[in-house]
Amino acid sequence: MAKKVLLTGFPGFLGSELVRRILRRPGETEIVCLVQAKFAALATRRAEEIAVEEKVDLARIALIEGDITEPGLGLSDPARLAREVGEIFHLAAVYDLAVRRELAMKVNVDGTRNVLDFAESAKRLERLQYVSTCYVSGRHVGIFRETDLVKGQEFQNFYEETKYLAEIDVRERQEKGLPTTIYRPGIVVGDSRTGETQKYDGPYYILRWLLKQPTVAVLPVPAGADKLRVNLVPSDFVVGAIDALSKEKLSLGQCYQLADPDPPTIQEAIRLMGESTGRYIVRVPVTVGLAKAAIDHVPGVYRLMGIPSNAIDYFAHPTFYDTSQADADLSALGIACPRLADVLPVLVAFMKKHPEISSAAMV
């Protein structure tokens, strides 16, 4: 019997790309995508597109209506699916830096607990592949290792806090015997080859601002830009790493920080953004507090720049992500994180071609 894989987070961008990768595996793997009712039409279109592009039978992508925030994943007969599933990829989460705590807790924490309960009931389960985030680190100062989690850190927003709480739950179940691998991506940007993405947030706010400016652009830059680093990773690296590692026995029980092992300083990243957009950037040093206050309280600043204040924190982030385990295991598989200098021009070209894409999250 072919393995049946359950995936949450479809038709999100990473989930959709992971479906493609799983379909390319040897054998006739069937993917069951848990889809919220409000995304059913989009999920159907995307599944049809993927089946055509990957030249596979559409029947291999089964869409079932459900909801991770409900017990039993909102399924009428969860036990039946649990008897058939051999692998679970849990990607579904609210990724929104301004998310309310109540919603973040419901989706990121309660939803993950429901997936964990379902996973424990799946007697044929070989592995739960859980997608977390590097930013479970919160504002931890210094090196944050793949084995680190509870470090007394403070959080910048409820997204970070709830992903941290969810990973604590995952690790507790892991310690009790649930076969699990944890993946922590950095800030995910578009595909390094095509630039494709579903939304423009994070560094895209700055790129979009620069593209609106004349040849010489003035840009406020946080203090310490020559020392602090920003960790941007293309989506194809993240998806490729998850797909490759998920098939390896050595990854069982591991946590991988899917981040740039040698990330640029903020100063260098801004220089590269200027080059990729064809702008000469005049840097104006400001404190993070002043920059956020101006965006939130000075009339017209947010409308002018289009950069939300909560995005500023990630360009003054005090954490360095150690990627030793990921580097070692991915190197053996021939996978490495592309250089930001090579990726940015591709992202900008895609942005110019697709100005209609917004920064809205799927919630």
pLDDT in tens, 93-149: 999 888 999 999 999 999 999 999 999 999 999 999 999 999 999 999 999 999 999
List phi, psi (to 5°) of 10: -100, 135
φ/ψ bin of 54: left (φ > 0), alpha (ψ from -120 to 50), beta (otherwise): alpha
Please name the helix (run of DSSP H) or strand (run of DSSP E) that holds residue 84, with its range, or none. Answer: helix 78-84
pLDDT in tens, 260-289: 999 999 999 999 999 999 999 998 888 878
d(CA 158, CA 69): 17
Please state the rounded mean pLDDT for residues 336-356: 97
pLDDT in tens, 42-62: 999 999 999 999 999 999 999
- What is the model's pLDDT at position 1? 52
CA nearest 120: which of 165, 177, 160? 177
Domains of the chain: 4-188+232-258 (3.40.50.720), 193-230+263-317+340-353 (no CATH)
362 pLDDT band, cuts 50/70/90, is low
CB of 119 closer than 8 Å to CB of 88: yes
d(CA 22, CA 264): 32
CB of 227 closer than 8 Å to CB of 2: no
pTM summary value: 0.95
CB of 224 closer than 8 Å to CB of 101: no
Neighbours of 336 (CB within 10 A): 13
Mapped onto helix, strand or coil, the DSSP state of residue 63 is: strand
Report whether pLDDT(302) > 80: no
d(CA 236, CA 336): 11
Between 156 and 307, the higher pLDDT residue: 156
